[in-house]
Structure formats: C-alpha cells, structure tokens
C-alpha cells in the first residue's frame, strides 16, 4: 500500500514504516510546525487544509492593535503560539483540552484505548537555536490511523508507528519528564457539525474571529504563559 504524503520532503531521514497507512504527513517548512501539526492531526487535505495565511489572520485578530504581534513571528516565518493553534482547531469544530502535566500518563489519565472522542494528541517540546541563545518550542501530533497510533512529527521523513497504547503513554510521559516546559493537548471530536469545515481560515471574517480563544477551565491557567513562551 502506497502512502500519500502532503508537504515538502524536508526533514531528517528515519526508517520507513512499510505498514504505515495512507495519511497526511506534512513536512517542516520554515517555522510552520503549528500549521503542519494541525493538518496532520485532523488529516486535512485540499481546500480543507489550514494555511499560513489563515494562521496569520487568527494571530492578527487576537492582537489587532499590537505593534509586534505576540502570537507569531515578526518576520513572517510562523512561530505561532498555543492561542493560534487552539483557535485554528476550534475553527474546524474540534475541541482541545490541556493535559495536567502534574499527573502521570496512563490509561486512566489519557485513555486513548477506550475514549472514542479522542482524535489525537498534540505535543509541545521546547527547542533552542543559535547555540542555545534563542528559546522556542515545536508542535507535533500523534494520531490514530487504522487502529494504530503514529507519530506525525513534521521533522520526520515518514510517520513512525507507536505500536501499542503502552508505547504511546511512555512517549508522552518521557516528553513531560524531559522538560518542565513540555506540554500535551488532547484533541477531541466535534460536539456538533461544522457548517462549512472546508472554508479556509484566511477567508473567515465572522464575528467569532474577533474573540479570544474560548478556554476550558483547564486551559485558563496556561494560556498566558504559552503566549509568551511557545513560538514554534
């Protein structure tokens, strides 16, 4: 079975998983990992895909009067923060929950094997560039595809199979243990049908664009910190 890959062929080489199903797996371009992560976790193609222009539109609506927008790179490279990423997913009708990183990851706290509302998991890990002088972060997604979970990190050349629920949980716990700045988001199925899910974010001009991300209770405590700390 041939795999359908969407995006550039940039990224480090990894071992090809011959059993990986056809899927959307965008590769890293510039600092657009939040865009790639959204398309990968929601498996968006064609006119349904989220775009850099759409993410820019969201960021600008979150801070319409700011000289320097705190939600994205001032150089137009991407570096979108959690507010923009969550807003983009919500625009597609899906729900996003912060995971309480103080809790150990297991089948009770992240029941990917029993909770059918979970579409996938978004991971955020800190990064540093220019010899560690510039602090940033990287978004990537883990998603269920044909009965198995796959790491769809845009830095990978191919999806990597996480062959059991235990391995998924270990990957997530190792991520949280690696840094106090690492975080996990759970993406859940929409609670109601989206009227036009294929509408590109760059074209959306409804009143909802002028509102901040509608946070759940678990999101409130972290959004302000993410606005400043997570920029890719």
State the catalytic residue, choosing from 33, 36, 123, 169: 33
Residues 6+ apart with CB under 8 A from 8: 27, 28, 29
Q: How far apart are CA 54 and CA 84, in angstroms?
A: 10
Comparing CA positions, the residue from 135, 140, 145, 146 lying closest to residue 171 is 140
The yes-or-no answer on residue 138 being catalytic is yes
State the catalytic residue, choosing from 71, 91, 138, 169: 138
Task: State whether residue 169 is helix, strand or coil.
Answer: helix
Q: How far apart are CA 50 and CA 21, in angstroms?
A: 22
Residues in the chain: 232
Widest distance between CA atoms in the chain: 50
**Which residues are the active-site residues?**
33, 138
């Amino acid at each position: 079975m041939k795999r359908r890959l969407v995006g550039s062929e940039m990224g480090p080489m990894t071992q090809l998983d011959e059993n990986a199903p056809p899927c959307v797996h965008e590769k890293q371009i510039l600092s657009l990992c939040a865009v790639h992560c959204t398309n990968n976790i929601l498996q968006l193609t064609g006119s349904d895909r989220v775009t850099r222009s759409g993410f820019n539109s969201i960021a600008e609506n979150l801070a319409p009067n700011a000289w320097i927008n705190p939600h994205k790179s001032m150089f137009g490279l991407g570096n979108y923060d959690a507010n923009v990423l969550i807003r983009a997913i919500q625009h597609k009708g899906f729900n996003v929950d912060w995971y309480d990183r103080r809790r150990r990851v297991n089948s009770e706290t992240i029941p990917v094997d029993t909770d059918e509302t979970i579409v996938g998991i978004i991971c955020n890990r800190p990064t540093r560039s220019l010899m560690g002088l510039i602090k940033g972060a990287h978004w990537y997604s883990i998603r269920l595809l044909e009965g198995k979970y796959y790491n769809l990190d845009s830095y990978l050349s191919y999806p990597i199979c996480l062959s059991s629920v235990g391995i998924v949980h270990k990957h997530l716990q190792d991520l949280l243990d690696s840094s106090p700045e690492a975080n996990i988001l759970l993406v859940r199925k929409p609670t109601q049908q989206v009227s036009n899910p294929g509408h590109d974010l760059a074209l959306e001009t409804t009143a909802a664009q002028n509102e901040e991300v509608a946070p759940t209770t678990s999101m409130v405590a972290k959004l302000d910190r993410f606005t400043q700390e997570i920029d890719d």
